[in-house]
Amino acid sequence: MEGKADANARLVECARAGDAQAFGELVRRHLGAAHAVALAILQNPVDAEEAAQDAFIIALEKLDDCRDSARFSGWLLRIVRNRALNLREAGGVRRRGVSTLDAANESPSPERSPLDHALGQQAKSRLLGALEVLSEVQREVVLLHDLEGWTHSEIGSSLGLSEGMSRQHLFQARRLLRDVLGTARDERRSR
């Protein structure tokens, strides 16, 4: 049975040889994770989608720069992270001033994001608000693990963390999310 890294390596080599379908498969496999990492940084679904799309364009243009094709995931997520950070720092985020809820409702993509599939609109808005209390690395870990189903080994490899640190970040993030979401639930009950 071929592992994820082996399958990625094969697809990267095919894409380098000009196989557009192979690159399309890489996009399909990594779009959710790319969106999750960008969302962890930008905290806006529409801006995260833009950053992820930009990152895939950059990855396609620089595919020959990926030295270890078996580690494509980590290489791509570094591009996503850099693109999202650049957008945030440059103030190039198109939807500045639009609330997260409004931006989520106006998503230009005809396909639903992984977050849309997992949650209803109200729950999504509450979760996005709660994610703001987490550090960037905590947001990345919780979104990759809980939303995308990545293992701690995969997360650690992609984010430059040990497997143990990935577990620790997830534990702390979940505890903070429980506290924030539990407080919000208690406030709604007392109204």
Q: Which domain holds residue 67?
A: 4-190
Max mean pLDDT among 69-78, 85-94, 118-127, 177-186 falls in 69-78
What is the reported pTM?
0.69
pLDDT at 71 over 50: yes
Which pLDDT score, from 0 to 100, does residue 91 have?
76
Per residue in 1-41, pLDDT (tens digit) is 567 778 889 999 999 999 999 999 999 999 999 999 999 89
> Structurally, how many domains does the chain consist of?
1
3-state secondary structure the chain: CCCHHHHHHHHHHHHHCCCHHHHHHHHHHHHHHHHHHHHHHHCCHHHHHHHHHHHHHHHHHCHHHCCCHHHHHHHHHHHHHHHHHHHHHHCCCCCCCCCHHHHHHCCCCCCCCHHHHHCCHHHHHHHHHHHCCCCHHHHHHHHHHHHCCCCHHHHHHHHCCCHHHHHHHHHHHHHHHHHHHHHHHHHHHHC
Average pLDDT on 68-88 reads: 92
- The whole-chain average pLDDT of the chain stands at 82
At residue 185, the pLDDT reads: 56
pLDDT (tens digit, 9 = 90+) per residue, 118-156? 556 667 677 778 888 899 899 999 988 988 888 999 899
Q: What is the mean pLDDT of residues 93-101?
A: 43
Is it the case that residue 80 has pLDDT exceeding 60? yes
